[in-house]
Chains A and B, each alone.
Chain A
């Protein structure tokens, strides 16, 4: 029967099922997020016109929102019980149960939903902890500072006959490290604040894709076969790809990978790499394909074919990163824009001109890489349509390049590498000419 007081809960439930953000739904129906929040917690009654608008946005019948969706509740519990051995035995009596104990049924459904949403949050957070270069740099900084403080404090407390000169010195060191700790902690807190307010709610489609690609090592053995499966089927079976956008991007990647594999079959590619090393120009000439295809192909090869791992980033005409395959020592920014000094952007500013640099990535242990970049314009909508730019940058660790005489980097090039970073916000290079915002890291050494 109708329980109008719970309309808000149903709106919330339906919204969460669709994975829409509160702010997003509020904007769509022309109310403020805080008002929607009150509605969702059943603290505001909601009128006919607004319910209709919300129902339309949430793609459900108005009655399902207003009249107590016992059917929806039964469905939720059926799903929950299906995963549960004892629970599944009671499935035939589920509707009777919901009818007799709607409150407890709701409690069960809410608890399950909450558990699922928390699980997902934990997943996202732990993924972030492992892959976010700012968090890891920041935690390193904090732990180093704490180490100095703890060790110095230990000396002050445990040494009975401490020379006054030493004592003063250790006091000064503690004061200095405390200031540094405060700065780093502040930086970290403001970063977490920003992340929590905006993007911590869930993964973006791009993140889903990145995670999926990284789990499979950026390699698709299925697409190397003579008769590859349909990318759509492959993607439909992938658990990690939840959003439609991520699935579409994954299908696009698989199709391109297939196309590249047809032009540069794995067996012939192995031979070619053995002969030429990781030399995009030589490979491009040998297979008669353009450089971007070679970049992509190299980045999609299994590790044993290359003798190492190469990274690949792509951006569109706005500089937004559209593809990210990291390589150890060359961290890629997760949210913010990348370092403006990357050869990727030099290539973007000069379409069709190949760029190669030995780059040194800023960090506690700076790594050297050979970066090859190229920007290629295309006219997907014909000559009358807009020109679309895509730039790609292949990142080859210097020691991998050095394993083959053809790609070994001359001494003259490696002595003056191009100094780049990950992103200004976490870059320790002071006085960089291209800096766009101050670093929120406390000074590194």
Chain B
């Protein structure tokens, strides 16, 4: 089972570090750096998990998240939001828009790994393999099968 992740972030050195860590953990990592075209990139790459920065050139991560949740095809996509502003306001807004998890910069590599793996394992037991055991508490499995099927993948 290929685990696909899309990283939407505009800091090249953060991209490189996260891509390296996730790749070594067995993830297939695609990246995208522009806020305005992020939705298209998400549609194209069909990731299992999305890592989304808040402050992006062109369009904010909040707006992108809002649009994702409004679209039935992506309304259940696990989204890990990154922000350098650890302010309560940002977190509240992200939660209002339906973020799955929220992480403030700077983070430890192990935290990111743990978060994305937990998010990947949680939604549907059927699709998740080794990570899936005992973690499917909230049963949000609608639509995940479609997102998970490894067809039409782009690098």
Contacts and interface: CB of A to CB of B under 8 A. Distances in A.
A364 interface: yes
Given A143-B105, A166-B20, A152 B13 contact: yes
A129 to B, nearest CB: 10
B14 A144 contact: yes
B57 A151 contact: no
A249 interface: no
Contacts of B16: 152, 169-170, 173
Interface stretch (A32-40, A153-161, A199-207, A348-356): A153-161
Given A148-B17, A151-B17, A151-B21, A365 B109 contact: no
Nearest to B55: A364
Contacts, number: 76
Contacts of A176: 13
Contacts of A155: 17, 20-21, 109
Contacts of A147: 11, 14, 84, 105-107
A363 B57 CA distance: 8
A20 to B, nearest CB: 35
Nearest to A130: B87
A45 interface: no
Contact of A365 (B24, B59, B84): B59
A151 B106 contact: yes
B56 A144 contact: no
Contacts of A365: 35, 55-60
Interface string A153-186: 0110011000000100110010011000000000
Interface string B35-70: 100000000000000000001111110000000000
Contact of B105 (A136, A146, A152, A366): A146
Contacts of B57: 364-366, 445
Contacts of B105: 143-144, 146-147
A140 B85 contact: yes
A150 B84 contact: no
Question: Which of B17, B20, B109 is most buried by chain A, counting CB atoms within 10 A of its CB?
Answer: B17
Contacts of B84: 139-140, 143-144, 147
Most buried by B among A170, A364, A445: A364
A144 B85 contact: no
B69 to A, nearest CB: 17
Contacts of B55: 140, 364-365
Query: Most chain-B Cβ atoms within 10 A of its Cβ — which of A152, A155, A170, A365?
Result: A365
A364 B33 CA distance: 12
Nearest to B112: A151
Given A166-B20, A364-B57, A445 B14 contact: no
Residue of B10, B16, B58, B84 ringed by the most chain A CB atoms within 10 A: B84
Given A144-B105, A365-B56, A152 B17 contact: yes
Contacts of A136: 85
Kindly name the residue among B13, B84, B110 whose own CB sees the greatest number of chain A CB atoms within 10 A: B13
Interface string A32-57: 00000000000000000000000000
Contacts of A158: 109
B151 interface: no
Interface in A126-147: 136, 139-140, 143-144, 146-147
23 contacts: A139-B85, A143-B85, A143-B106, A144-B105, A147-B106, A148-B14, A148-B17, A150-B107, A150-B108, A151-B21, A155-B17, A155-B20, A155-B21, A155-B109, A170-B20, A177-B13, A364-B55, A365-B55, A365-B56, A365-B57, A365-B59, A366-B58, A445-B10
Closest 4 CB pairs of A and B: A143-B84, A151-B17, A147-B105, A148-B13
Given A144-B105, A155-B17, 15 more contacts: A140-B55, A143-B105, A143-B106, A144-B11, A144-B84, A146-B106, A148-B11, A149-B106, A151-B21, A151-B106, A151-B107, A155-B20, A173-B16, A365-B58, A445-B10
